[in-house]
Structure 1
Amino acid sequence: MEREVLWKSLMMNGSIIIFWRQSILEKYVENIREEGFDVYLFDCESWDKNTCLSELGNTLEFPNYYGKNLDAFNDCLSDIVPSNEGFVLVFKNFDKFNERDKDTAFHVLDIIQNNSWRLLVENQKKLMAFVHSDDPRLEIQPVGALPVLWNNEEWLNKSRGI
């Protein structure tokens, strides 16, 4: 019997997945790499809007004309077509950024979600975001008209000690 493909089970309910336990996040990152995805890591602990947009642009190697605003992030992200299966943006300590700038944090995830579906439909490539939170109660409003849910292993509140 063929092993279930991780990206399919994760993207069933959207492309943004929340993680609380570091060990589970690391396991998913390792498994998604084995499926042929590139993984980009970001530490959001001290992010503000400017830091966020600069680091995203630098890490994803956006062109020099990247304007470091949300519209430019959307435009440049929509130009990326990976040569492999796809890519995953891993946001550690996202809850800290979300506390500091909830509006920008939401829009970054919303842009990723919308580009994820476009990339899948147009190029059969995948884009996901793994969002790590030290707060097991983190809730993010729906992005791309889809809810942002906890991963399969921490979906139940009791799995996160709540």
Structure 2
Amino acid sequence: MDAKNALNELLAGRLEPGVFQWRPPGSLDWAGRAERAGLRVFALDGRTVRDKESFLRRCAEVFEFPDWFGANWDALEDCLTDLSWAPAPKGYLIGYESWNDLAEADQGSFRTALDVFAEAVESWRDSDTPMTVLLSSAEAEAEGVPWLT
């Protein structure tokens, strides 16, 4: 299945939520399609994110975390499993682009971020608002992360 069809299956609820890699076609408005399907979209641009601190700062901005966000891994997980300030009609979709900047510069922080995303996805799995994380992979591959297919 190609990336466009896989996205259609995900948006229709026919694919289990998860953390996936995918190669979206350049012309595909994945965020707009997800929003029209009732998902709350967070576009996490990883350009210039090369360490834990810059990753957590970018997350705080993108997810519009409340002032009590503690800027550490536990606080990131707490916020991603709460999101009460960011209601979603049918679920959450996080598109993480340029993730390889962090993966290349700080592999440990990248792996911890993936673990936090996986915990958040799991916590939302059986709710009315499941969460999925898509790692846009134009050139690089994240070892151990399944492909959206």
Q: Once the two structures are superposed, what CA deviation does each residue of 1:67-110 show, in whole Å capped at 9, x if it has no partner?
A: 11111101111111533111111111112221111111122122
Among 31, 37, 40, the alignment partner of 2:39 is 37
Higher helix share: 1
Q: Which has the larger radius of gyration?
A: 1
Amino acid at match of 2:116: I
Q: Once the two structures are superposed, what CA deviation does each residue of 1:30-54 show, in whole Å capped at 9, x if it has no partner?
A: 4322211111112212102111101
Alignment root-mean-square deviation, CA? 2.2
Task: Report if aligned partners of 1:43, 1:93 keep a CA contact under 8 Å in 2.
Answer: yes
1:100/1:61 CA distance change after superposition, 3 Å: same
Deviation at 1:22, TM superposition (A): 4.5
CA–CA separation in structure 2 for the residues paired with 1:77 and 1:5: 24
Identity of aligned residues (%): 20
- SS of 1:65's partner is coil
Report the equivalent of 1:73. 76
Task: Report if aligned partners of 2:22, 2:137 keep a CA contact under 8 Å in 1.
Answer: yes
- SS of 1:79's partner is coil
Amino acid at match of 1:151: L
Deviation at 1:27, TM superposition (A): 4.5
Amino acid at match of 2:37: E
Q: Once the two structures are superposed, what CA deviation does each residue of 1:98-144 show, in whole Å capped at 9, x if it has no partner?
A: 111111112212212222121232x32111111112324x1333xxx
Moved segments of 4+, more than 4 Å: none
CA–CA separation in structure 1 for the residues paired with 2:128 and 2:108: 30
Among 134, 138, 146, the alignment partner of 2:138 is 134
Amino acid at match of 1:69: N
1:5/1:151 CA distance change after superposition, 3 Å: closer
Amino acid at match of 1:95: N
CA–CA separation in structure 1 for the residues paired with 2:133 and 2:78: 17
Compute the TM-score of the two structures, normalised by the length of structure 1: 0.73
CA–CA separation in structure 1 for the residues paired with 2:114 and 2:14: 19
- SS of 1:140's partner is coil
Q: Please show how residues 3-152 of structure 1 align to structure 2 within 5 Å.
A: 5-7=9-11, 8-11=13-16, 15-23=18-26, 26-47=28-49, 48-81=51-84, 82-121=87-126, 123-136=127-140, 138-141=141-144, 148-152=145-149
Q: How many residues align?
A: 138
